[in-house]
Structure 1
């Protein structure tokens, strides 16, 4: 029996008790019969609780004829309550996942698959509608991705899942904003401030993964600069892939008055927990052989090594000039990688890139779309706007990206990556072709050994920004031949004696910074939430 159903029965028994005190014995009998039917519907026939309820109905008849007193009924009802608590002890749960964009499903998938395989759990994937916004906050486009899920995911129509009536024990969400995102919003019925009333455990898990290692949470949580998103206020449990992130969140919860003044179902210190991320589970479990390519993509790749080029929202939005430099970088990168015989380019822009330009950089939208169209028309490489990031990771041999969560996910592959100089590009650098990739590789390995990430600008990071980069920020130098050197490393890795040491160190960094890095995060998250719900 589910905990919610047991609570419903106990609530009905409390109602019967009130009616009993008022001498409304016929109403008590109807209520007891209803409880019997409910129990048999949930548990089948043969429970001792139903036998006791039937005997209680007989006692009600005697009490109505004044053959016994109300005290007898009261004791018998207490006995029934005791049996409900013991015989009908919760041993099943219902868990529902409310994803919106399919591209973010990987942050839920391994939890869902674990829950689905548990006979004591009813697990439901219920994709919900989401909307794009104009710059003024109005909605201009509605989306529903429920018809795009892989065949191993059983999708439930959002219109047929009544969350208020079903009251699942656990709800998983990955939208932290409610209505406060400038670019998109989910349907208001699925805002966290509403869902929290329809579950025992509202769980937030991020659809992205960050790459920073924060050793001093106080330093990065200045109350004057702090933005408290709705999930901080409404969720019972917030899950993170790094312990440091959980500690930072605990600090926020313990110091922010908006959080301190709310009574939560979970102790404040237990609301932020590091258990890993299903996104890493997906990186580990996805292999190239299981990812089919469209024929036109296979033709463009033509058995060449693949350079994955990922462009994120944060770099574009954080640029002081509003994104013009970002577009210039796209143009120069594509020019440098056009018509190469040694590498195939696979471009994967953020799924919301066009929408974000439309909402927040409207003046540059046409310029961005022109670049995108030229890339596709000229067949510069694979243009990947599908929801499946993990196919791109599995097929690629190296990564070129700006500051984004995919960089951290790529750590788990052991394959090389480089940070594209966009938002941190030098204004007036010296230009040089003198540094070889052997030198950069040796320096990177040295840094990785020193601190498994070392320190950048006095901030502990698990990825050293200034290596495998086309710019040396310390010496104000731009390496004009960097991209050619990086591609040569990808295509001729066997010629670099230190390549295997680099690969192993990268995997070690990943394992040091991520909780449950072995692909078991979804399993651990599900069982943690189940234990929270059922106790024990």
Structure 2
């Protein structure tokens, strides 16, 4: 499972824990109708978590079984609150404890039983410079815990007067064994929190710096892989130009 999906599940589980606090409070205040409504929301939330996990990890994932047990506990609490009133304080504490125990098992299972996949994005622009990234890409591409994407970035030559010259896109020039994703199909604006590798480092133009800042805001880490045989002073990175026109 990708890191962002796992984090989403962990956040959802924390939300369920907060809901349990509210259920306990409502029972103590003898507002059983509101407490039952929150229990219904908890069951809906657990089903959503289960659907996400099943889609990514399959129906045999251990967490699914624990979510099913949690839903059964939620249903029992829901039914109990529809019956004649008991000792409110004792009932509230017991229902809360039972729900939290089930949720604790889910939390541990999510941490232990769902392997985390890391998204790694490679953003070369010149096919001739791919050798500076290829060994890193091969390691990520063959790692079962990584999703590796190669997204070549279009660029412009820079004219002597500082204006943009000829446009280049070399996505079709990469080795046939490298699966290339089109720059126009991969949404760089989406905060995927990926690790991203680029091949520019020093003597950056203003627009190139803007591109790096743009990526940093949407990434867990930006890593430079330097290709020292070619100066970057004659290039604009097209990504920033494209973004500024939208």
Whether TM-score is above 0.5 comes out as yes
- Name 1:200's counterpart in structure 2: 220
Judged with a 3 Å threshold, the aligned counterparts in structure 2 of structure 1 residues 206 and 16 are, in CA distance, closer, same or farther, namely same
Separation in 2, partners of 1:198, 1:54: 35
- Name 1:112's counterpart in structure 2: 137
Judged with a 3 Å threshold, the aligned counterparts in structure 2 of structure 1 residues 157 and 4 are, in CA distance, closer, same or farther, namely same
Judged with a 3 Å threshold, the aligned counterparts in structure 2 of structure 1 residues 82 and 119 are, in CA distance, closer, same or farther, namely closer
Q: Deviations over 1:73-115 (max 9, x none)?
A: 122212210111111142x332210111222212111221232
- Contact 1:128–1:187 at 8 Å: present in 2 too? no
- Name 1:14's counterpart in structure 2: 14
- Contact 1:131–1:142 at 8 Å: present in 2 too? yes
Separation in 2, partners of 1:16, 1:39: 16
Structure 1 residue 205: deviation in Å? 1.4
- Name 1:295's counterpart in structure 2: none
Q: Is 2:126 the counterpart of 1:77?
A: no
Aligned 1:303-452 pairs, distance under 5 A = 355=234
Q: Deviations over 1:409-441 (max 9, x none)?
A: xxxxxxxxxxxxxxxxxxxxxxxxxxxxxxxxx
Q: Is 2:174 the counterpart of 1:149?
A: yes
Larger of the two Rg values belongs to structure: 1
Structure 1 residue 26: deviation in Å? 2.3
Runs of 4+ residues deviating >6 angstroms = none
The SS at the match of 2:111 is helix
Aligned 1:81-100 pairs, distance under 5 A = 81-90=107-116, 92-100=117-125
| Aligned length in residues | 209
Separation in 2, partners of 1:38, 1:112: 28
- Contact 1:125–1:155 at 8 Å: present in 2 too? yes
The SS at the match of 1:200 is strand
The SS at the match of 1:39 is helix
- Contact 1:96–1:171 at 8 Å: present in 2 too? yes
Which sections of structure 2, spanning at least 5 residues, go unmatched?
24-37, 82-93, 236-246
Structure 1 residue 151: deviation in Å? 1.2
- Name 1:461's counterpart in structure 2: none
Aligned 1:498-517 pairs, distance under 5 A = none
TM-score for both structures, normalised by structure 1: 0.35
Q: Which structure: greater helix fraction?
A: 2
Larger displacement relative to structure 2 (136-145 or 75-84): 136-145
TM-score for both structures, normalised by structure 2: 0.71
Judged with a 3 Å threshold, the aligned counterparts in structure 2 of structure 1 residues 164 and 83 are, in CA distance, closer, same or farther, namely farther
The SS at the match of 2:130 is helix
- Contact 2:194–2:220 at 8 Å: present in 1 too? yes
Q: Which has the higher contact order (CA 8 A, sep 6+)?
A: 2
Separation in 2, partners of 1:54, 1:164: 36
Judged with a 3 Å threshold, the aligned counterparts in structure 2 of structure 1 residues 135 and 66 are, in CA distance, closer, same or farther, namely farther
Which sections of structure 1, spanning at least 5 residues, go unmatched?
210-311, 314-351, 357-536
**Which residue of 135, 145, 151 maps to 1:126?**
151
- Name 1:302's counterpart in structure 2: none
Separation in 1, partners of 2:129, 2:115: 36
Separation in 1, partners of 2:160, 2:17: 57
